[in-house]
Amino acid sequence: MKQLWNISHYEFLHILKDPILFIIVFIAPLFYCGLFGVVYFSAILEDVPLAIVDQDQTVLSREFLAAFANDSSFSLVEGVDSYEELEEGMRSGSLRAGIVIPRGFEQKLYQRGPSELLAVYDASNLIWGFNSRKFIREVINDFTTRHAAAYLLSAGFSPREMESLINSVECNISPWYNPNFSYTNFLFMGLMMIAVHQLSIFGVCLSVTREKERKSWVHFVYTMVPAWKIALGKTLPYLIINFFNYALVLFVSSRFIQVKIEGSVGLLILLGVLYLLAITFAGFIVSLHAANSLQATRYLMLLSLPLIMISGYTWPKAYMPDIINLVAALFPSTWMTLGFRLVSIKNLGLDIMWPTLLILAGMALLAIFFALSFKKESVIRVDDALSINGGYSYPRKVNRLRALRQQIGARHLSC
């Protein structure tokens, strides 16, 4: 146990003394949480820049324009009086949506004939596009309903008959789990889980390569300390720090960024523990077999971009090729991001979550097994490394007082 503690203490001192590693391990998770929180803080799109080209210039067209002006979803841009100006605004990005009211709009409507409008929106950005289309439909449906109600009342129908006709088919639409269509609830925690993955694995990926570059890995290769103690001692500080960062991200996201995090706290903790065990020990394995820190970093860079794309968090897995789904299933981040959403957003319990937990547990056990059972002889090491710090032994704390006494005793003996 003392050997394990000494190795962990040695690794923790390295983390504290290396300013870059310290920032990555302690500061970067909170920084990314704050950065993503600021980006997605508004959560819901509002004040979509919209222009209305009123070619009819009638009372009804002005009422239609007022319906959009009074809706908080839109920010009405004035001074756009022609289709060409609307087109120019859409190209420049000053407008995200527009409506053209043609001539004869009021006349056709009062003659009970079909009256058409032209609604355009910027679909180059799907978030702008989908929201603009949804908001435009809501305002037009509301305006049409009020106009139909006024016509029925003028035709002699009683309010009850009018309401019965308008609501002859009533559909109550109730979005579950994310009723406000909040992009913070949809995207934020998935991005944070990938950030936690990259930062957690990055620190431990340098734990062995750093020793190889400093030619001090020979301490661990030739010492009598078992391989499993070296692996556990090296990874233990990162496990503790990574779980602290995971808990801190959950707290900051829920308390300050108002991300919806519901469900069982125990399940969220269990998901985090299994996930961090898998990626931390996997990072140690990468560090064992990487020749240097640059090579280990390259491995991480290759993984960083595809993880969120193929996980199914932003795009349904049912619409991905089977080979992509198969590859994605090999990464713990896939199961963690989806499992976290199911618990935190849908509030699912152990009865549905057990397959995800079982798979993460299997990945964690495999990573732990391969990390703890590595063979010292197979690990890349520097052959011309000499005895460092007094011999081939694992780094241990130096008792300065004892060392001073030994030096004084040696001097007395030499005298």
> Using one digit for the tens of pLDDT, what is the confidence trace for 60-79?
888 888 988 888 888 999 88
Distance CA 350, CA 353 (A): 5
pTM: 0.74
The helix-helix angle for 59-69 and 126-154 (nearest 10°) equals: 130
Please say if the pLDDT value at position 354 is more than 50. Answer: yes
pLDDT value for 394: 41
> Using one digit for the tens of pLDDT, what is the confidence trace for 104-152?
888 887 777 677 888 999 988 778 888 888 889 888 888 888 877 777 7
Distance CA 344, CA 341 (A): 5
pLDDT band at 258 (very low <50, low <70, confident <90, very high): confident
pLDDT value for 385: 39
More confident: 397 or 6: 6
pLDDT value for 371: 92
- State the amino acid at position 336 in one-letter form: M
pLDDT value for 193: 85
- DSSP output for 237-303: HHHHHHHHHHHHHHHHHHHTS-----S-HHHHHHHHHHHHHHHHHHHHHHHHH-SSHHHHHHHHHHH
Give the residue carrying structure tokens 């043609």.
Answer: 102
Domains and their CATH numbers in the chain: 2-40+184-378 (no CATH), 48-166 (3.40.1710.10)
- Which of 85-89, 195-199, 395-399 has the least mean pLDDT? 395-399
Conformational region of residue 243, where left means phi above 0, alpha means psi within -120 to 50, and beta covers everything else: alpha
> Using one digit for the tens of pLDDT, what is the confidence trace for 16-64?
888 888 888 888 888 888 887 777 776 677 888 999 999 988 888 888 8
pLDDT value for 236: 92
More confident: 54 or 403: 54
More confident: 172 or 196: 196
